[in-house]
Structure 1
Amino acid sequence: MATIPKLIRKLGKEAYNLYIVGGYIRDRILNREAKDYDFVVQEDAEKIAKLAAEKLGGTFVPFMEEKGTYRVVVGDEILDFTNLRGEDIYIDLAHRDFTMNAMAIKLTDYFEFEYIIDPFGGMMDIKNREIKHVGVMTFKEDPLRALRAVRFAATYKFDIDEGTKAKIREEAALIKQVAPERIMNEIFIILKEKNSHKYLRMMEDLKLMENIFEEVAKMKEVGKCYYHLTNAWIHSLKTVEEYENIINSMRFPKDVYDIVSEYLDRKLSSDNKVKDIIKLGALFHDIGKPESIYIDTENRVHFYNHETKGAEIVKKIASRMKMPKKESSLLKKLVLYHMKPLMYYVNGGPTNKSLFRFFSELKDDSIAILLLSQADFTATRLNLGKEEEIPKFTDYITKLLKRYVEFKETEKPLLSPLDIIINFDVKDGKKLGQILYEIRKNRFYGEIQDKEDAVEFVKERMKINKV
């Protein structure tokens, strides 16, 4: 908050050539903290930005020179300086995206909000919690604005004006012109919301989803079958909703709650969290179904190995959308393994051997797969009107999560490598690793309880295998 008054003092007479515009004014009206400042400069933005960097002790960055924008970074605050578009501030504001962002105020009038320049009624729209586009060229000038409308709706819990919705639908295909990195940045922000399923559905309603992800159209063609009464896409949106219900309530025993919450809050790259990427996994878990349709002799539809096909498809999507490697890897894993817990369930539950292998292969991402499986099952059973089956499957997933807690506990060895080397004269590294692995595995099985059991196990193994 102290940045603006300080900037006015430091810039002196140059401050009279600046306007504060856009989001900062919006956030001040909403009493939200803002650390990003956008300034329009009547004369030379580069000169003013360099002066501001010098006076404030910040770093000058030629951010988007081709658009006449220069950035100054001061601590954790970002100040952008842009040359005025057009002859005056009114023309400049006419080129902005939404009315709530199309306001300005002279830098020197900072404390006099009655002097806000508001030619499109932005303050009234903020009061009414409504997002309205500024003009007929809003989305043609920058098609990403269509997706930003959804992002603003998600972030501020505003509604999008019906006229603006109609315009977005009309020009939705323009989103294909936008760089994938910019698109994914907006989607990742939307996914951070606790109830992002509402805004994914909004993207669908505005025809943005299938114009961003062409594969969605095929998912809509996969209609009802033995397991579903709706198409694969509607089911997938419902799965995201059920996943969010699970993680928003977190009704787990404390030991499970602790390990699940820590995992979900882990940061990947670009400040994305694991829990947000699982939403993408839920959205695309059935994306392989259109490529996997099989109709049996009784005219029933099946989707054998759709998870394998789906993993190949999301790998291509992640590459096309320039997703970071960590996010891409987790997304592929979610799609590839999402059927595993259900397959165990319908076959009477996993054996110790299969569960240990599952946990060993997926490690902490086992948690993501289990939660996705629960959401998928819940969405399916709600759709079929078989709600009575949900509690049993929920209990099953909770039990598997508890088994994963036990699996994690086996990471702390009962015997150290040195214990085995000294007491059993094992010098071969490969054999040593195998013994440690077998101790851990049998501990998970419940056949080894403590250090004494582990010692006895090694003794017996040495006798049998003559190590």
Structure 2
Amino acid sequence: MAPGIGLPEAVRRVLPALGPEPVWLVGGSVRDALLGRPTTDFDFAVRGDGVALGRRLANVLGADYFDLDPTRRTGRVLLTLEAGRRATFDFASLRGADILQDLAGRDFTLNAMALPLVPSGEVGALIDPLGGAADLRRRELRACSPSAIADDPIRAVRSVRLAVDLECRIEDETLRQVRQARPLLEQVSPERVRDELFRLLDMPKASAAIRLLAELDLSGALVPELEALRGLEQPPPHAFDGLEHSLATASHLADLIALLTGRAGTAEARHLAEAEALTALAAHRSRGIEYVDFAPSFGRPRRALLLWASLLHDAGKPATRVVTEGGVRFLGHETVGSRLAVEASRRLRLSTVEQAEVELTVLHHMRPEWLESEPDLTRRAVYRFFRAVESVGPSVVLLSLADLLARYVPPIPIDVWRRRLGVARRLLRAWFEEREEVVSPTPLLTGEDVMRSLGLPSGPEVGRILDLLREAQAAGDVTSRQEAEAFVRSAAGAR
């Protein structure tokens, strides 16, 4: 075995089924093994047919299989491990005459290493023709060739993710390639842009990655709607133009999600506002993790989808900008922005479920601010908020907090922050702790009960009365079946 490399147990499980053809563990799998980082995603290069080997392996192990890229003869095997964890094995035919040519055509040197594997469990010496191990020790991200990024421009986005994840410095020549790749990103398929961008947004250090994307001027190429916000003047208390504000909102939101999920703690809270947010969010950590980890479809978690929505939350401002005696205003920008956010999500081939989440989040991101004017945030007001925003309620609350933070050069005025945080505390408590009572109470009467009691036929009037009953229950005005029966009689008479 190569010195310093511990072969993951998941890989050892597949070795006996590999067969006689030469196979190498390659790419990030080797890099993570050198770092001692756990992973469940493994890449293999095969001298023979990657698709055929993947299918045979799946049959032997009783695992799931599908063609990942038939044109490049790449197949994927999904194997269930202990405790229900899933390991992903991708088998690709060599790209080139041999393993050295294959590695030379990869993206970065720290991904251009290979370990030869044989069924007996033996592991050959590390193959590292480009000095990837040394670059990894130096924490330097270096392209494999002068044309590595131009050959596949999505690697520019990947460089940001790897630099932040591995805490690497992007080497100067590679940095030049990254900057030059900006106009080339238009050539990349929407699906590949989506997948690389969402992997970045799903990182524990997504905040730093978003900031680096902006520093390298890649944000606008990935999200053209952001370019329209460049230089867009905003009224006080906004300290930044539309573009910088949107990027700052996404960065602050990533920090808040990290505070909610425990990926960041007191030591990472950069100022008093974040420290107070940590106290508010930590109360809902277990349910909060479940909420942001939920994947509406295709395995893309809500936390990444929420950051995507945050980048687009003010996309409607350029089209709604008006200048009045009171200054610049953006009336209805959230409505226009929600439509643009759907268009952007459709462009990246997000699912219809994901598009709907993004639309609702952008459409309602101003609602928590409007609730600040309520002298007392009643149960009825809380119920109406969630009736409007549906399942994205916590997303809207978190985005609202980040949106407010991004208006100011830190520190935010603490009285301004505490007003919004107070609204957020109440709404999050309702969602995570009082859902059955305040957010979505089950009516004490059914539709049939209402029809029988009032002599009504089935129709919209029954639905209207049930909606009123549900709101009255949420407000605490109706607490028993007897009160519910009296309420529906009164509601029918008040029509």
Seen in structure 2, the aligned counterparts of structure 1 residues 221 and 348 have a Cα distance that, compared at 3 Å, is farther
Q: Does 1:386 align with 2:403?
A: no
Deviations 1:404-431 (A, max 9, x none): 5656415344623289469846453345
Deviations 1:102-141 (A, max 9, x none): 1123224997777111111111222233322111121122
> In structure 1, which of residues 247, 252, 263 is the aligned counterpart of residue 280 of structure 2?
252
Q: Map of 1:29-428 to 2, 5 A cutoff?
A: 29-43=34-48, 45=50, 48-49=53-54, 52=57, 56=61, 61-75=66-80, 76-108=86-118, 115-250=125-260, 251-252=279-280, 260-297=288-325, 300-346=327-373, 355-382=382-409, 386-402=413-429, 406=434, 408-410=436-438, 411-413=440-442, 415-417=444-446, 420=449, 424=453, 426=455, 428=457
Stretch of structure 1 that moved more, 301-310 or 51-60:
51-60
Q: Does the residue aligned with 2:130 lie in a helix, a strand or coil?
A: coil
Q: Distance in 1 between matches of 2:447 and 2:63?
A: 54
Please report the TM-score for the alignment, with normalisation by the length of structure 1.
0.85
- Conserved 8 A contact 1:226-1:301: no
Q: Distance in 2 between matches of 1:383 and 1:249?
A: 18
Q: Distance in 2 between matches of 1:9 and 1:259?
A: 42
Q: CA deviation at 1:297?
A: 3.3
- Conserved 8 A contact 1:223-1:231: yes
- Conserved 8 A contact 1:120-1:134: yes
Deviations 1:203-249 (A, max 9, x none): 12222211122222221121343231211121122222332343333
> In structure 1, which of residues 429, 433, 441 is the aligned counterpart of residue 458 of structure 2?
429
- Conserved 8 A contact 2:202-2:304: yes
Q: Does 1:445 align with 2:490?
A: no
Q: Distance in 1 between matches of 2:250 and 2:311?
A: 6
Aligned partner of 2:31 in structure 1 is 26
Aligned partner of 2:276 in structure 1 is none
- Conserved 8 A contact 1:414-1:450: no
Q: Distance in 2 between matches of 1:458 and 1:313?
A: 41
Seen in structure 2, the aligned counterparts of structure 1 residues 193 and 40 have a Cα distance that, compared at 3 Å, is closer
Q: Distance in 2 between matches of 1:352 and 1:364?
A: 18
- Conserved 8 A contact 1:269-1:326: yes
Q: Does the residue aligned with 2:44 lie in a helix, a strand or coil?
A: strand
Q: CA deviation at 1:170?
A: 1.5
Seen in structure 2, the aligned counterparts of structure 1 residues 246 and 90 have a Cα distance that, compared at 3 Å, is closer
- Conserved 8 A contact 2:342-2:355: yes
More helix by share: 1
- Conserved 8 A contact 2:379-2:476: no
Query: Where in structure 1 are there 5+ consecutive unaligned residues?
Result: none
Seen in structure 2, the aligned counterparts of structure 1 residues 336 and 432 have a Cα distance that, compared at 3 Å, is closer
Provide the aligned length of Structure 1 versus Structure 2. Answer: 462
Q: Distance in 2 between matches of 1:164 and 1:448?
A: 66
Which amino acid in the other structure matches residue 364 of structure 1?
S
Q: CA deviation at 1:8?
A: 5.0
Aligned partner of 2:5 in structure 1 is none
- Conserved 8 A contact 2:334-2:366: yes
Seen in structure 2, the aligned counterparts of structure 1 residues 427 and 343 have a Cα distance that, compared at 3 Å, is closer
Q: CA deviation at 1:445?
A: 3.1
Q: Distance in 1 between matches of 2:52 and 2:452?
A: 74
- Conserved 8 A contact 2:109-2:144: yes
Seen in structure 2, the aligned counterparts of structure 1 residues 329 and 46 have a Cα distance that, compared at 3 Å, is closer
Which amino acid in the other structure matches residue 139 of structure 2?
R
Q: Distance in 1 between matches of 2:285 and 2:63?
A: 43
- Conserved 8 A contact 2:50-2:73: yes
Q: Does the residue aligned with 1:332 lie in a helix, a strand or coil?
A: helix
Q: CA deviation at 1:27?
A: 1.9
Aligned partner of 2:275 in structure 1 is none
- Conserved 8 A contact 2:117-2:123: no
Seen in structure 2, the aligned counterparts of structure 1 residues 426 and 139 have a Cα distance that, compared at 3 Å, is same
- Conserved 8 A contact 2:225-2:312: no
Q: Which has the larger radius of gyration?
A: 1
- Conserved 8 A contact 1:420-1:432: no
CA RMSD of aligned residues (A): 3.4
